[in-house]
Structure 1
């Protein structure tokens, strides 16, 4: 139909039903579905299958689906499907397809999942850091995959990640530029039963060759996929916690979040202050840390400074900070260390000097002392096990 419209200028109405059921046989005389490429030996089996791609009219009482609106009206007029004992003619009630299932069934969108820096196939153990390789793998190894298997067990109720690079409609083979155009095209041009009031159930990404990380929903661009993934989910966070304002994609995730206490949950990254809501922390940062962005992380009270030079001066005067390879000097023996933790451990072990705390747990068998009972017990078990 797309070829007739593009190449021969035929007036094809893509927003209307084509009115035909396409049948096809291969060289082995097997019946082949032109939509999902499944093959059947018996024509009766194939006939039942091909009809499922056109079941766009469903009964709101029993869920049975039909090819035409006329068949649905006939069903409503003659069948008493509101009775609990009613059984559909095909022996089962077909469950309505979700939005995500329709998108996978009718487009070239490629499902995937991630693990660390790799992109994983949702059907097998193949993983790679090259999105092009993964798309090629799915197209060749899992070309006729069952849509239901794309929603792997660990996904739960979370949204499925899909790659919409080189996106096309499988029903008319028309190239689609973006995700929003895809859902509009499937619903209006092919009368697919996409529910606009429900969530789509997928997170769309254009992975390309892995060098550009751009959001498919807005013009924002990011340095890596992790940042893009976090940003993309924000476009689908339709559930918001009333207490802290944090957003979630699914209602179940929000309910699980609300069960966690919110008291002093959010910490200020610039000082020791804690807050119960994100809004309180944001107000604190804007009012307290705008003019003094540089903080000393070594002092207990976390003093702040207006510029780097002032903080550097403070580090040199108070914490014996030096420039060069050995930046930290012991105030007792003047021995230098490359890291603050090296100097800290040296002073605690050699000079029995512990910052902000005391060695309150002495060993009764030797002169050593420790900051916690756990460290003392480990020491006794290792050094004085015979006592």
Structure 2
């Protein structure tokens, strides 16, 4: 049992609470979202981070440098820093509570017996990534730790409480302990069938009840309207929005609005069509996962079918190959490869492979599949060796056949292996299946996935790798006449309304600044922001095949596709190559002299549809282009341009990019 005095740093019977102003909290929501999005970009290698800092210093002025330092100071959290010191320097084992079981934060395994959990942590996670331990937690929340066998990881000495061991690691081993912050952990003494609170020693019937009680000692944020308390600002914000603001409580399925959350919950429980869980076989809906699972077993025999399901067998094949060979699984959230075990990012494949050899010689294969609940995971197959006999192999089929025949591993070679292969070497990217060339890793990933398309839309013929992706496509493209915003799920009666919404709603813009979290409507706007606000140098693109240098991404991609690949369209008349079929058709009319697009007003014909659209503005009453100086309006851009060049040549540089931006805003304002 812990003394009261050492736990004063952790919590008290009557917690010290902070009253938060509702208006300030709601106004600062956007800023909070930006900070969250910016924290995701911290997992970058040290070498890359240093080079980025040098570039910023060399290109930016003094003022951006100051703001960058200010942001770093604001992002430091003394409480989280102390919690990281506790996890990394002591045997305070972090965990999560899943119903009545203990969940390991590193490999997601469940344990009923606390002793088995502690033995698992000693045997399997003697080495671990501190980032994974906090991956599931919001920034302000405390992590749960088991203090039953509390020891120093450096000198192996035992301690009765956190105060003693934190003083020890600070004075004896020089670890950083910030006394201005709290410890950042929720203490537990986990014993089998005994559930006593580590703070007040109160007894409870189960781990579930103990967990709910322990949280009450750490409620730091209080609603000043009704007095409800929360561990972090995120919970308080949800409470404020639902209880004390003019906030519409609506059902996501039928869009019906309710006066309270209780009314919505009652509707969700009674209205069959709005229940959240759906049977994939008969489309019947259920209130919870367990009821649907029971229905699937009784009505459709899913438990028997699972053993014969090709997707289940493919995943089992993939687990065996990852476990017994040096095919290295990775994620690709952006342009860099990310390790599935520790979430570290690598710009170069060679650095990633060296990291896997050094840091993850021993690993849990199940962790490689946590990010991919459906479909096949990506693996680097550049250097495939058997982990049992160290023989080298060229591809996945060879290593799979070897493991099955030589080492008798449980592989079903009649079913897919469940892996997407990548060969990444010599700065040249080729598809491991068809040897097609690719510009970058993201483009190669999209191409490789096309070899694993198994689900096709019957309406339009588009194909997808997973059933979930197909259902999402059908939902957004082929159900009803309404147009849906993929970001906010808002519905619109026409394409024009949806387009207007996309122009006005900044939170639905798809391009996000990785530094400050601001969103942009186009990739070019984001790049301009990075250059002007964060001092990021404009990227220069070098062709890996011929060494040509390009300053614009579009020209670089066009050059690579036309000059170094066969993925293009060739004119049968003159042999010119084009990136798209549309541009080829527009070019072809210059040979055939066809004019297939007549004007319905004056009967004049045009060879291309875009020429007809431009011509139709002559017949429109609404004139889009206006000269602000002399109040003249023009139907066509070319007429407006001619006027501006003749009468106001000093106002606009027509050859520059600024003209395009001014023109865009001029058109939108109209």
TM-score, normalisation: structure 1: 0.48
Q: Which structure carries more relative contact order (alpha carbon 8 Å, separation 6+)?
A: 2
Q: Which has the larger radius of gyration?
A: 1
Q: TM-score, normalised by structure 2?
A: 0.29
From the two aligned structures, give the one with the greater helix fraction.
Answer: 2
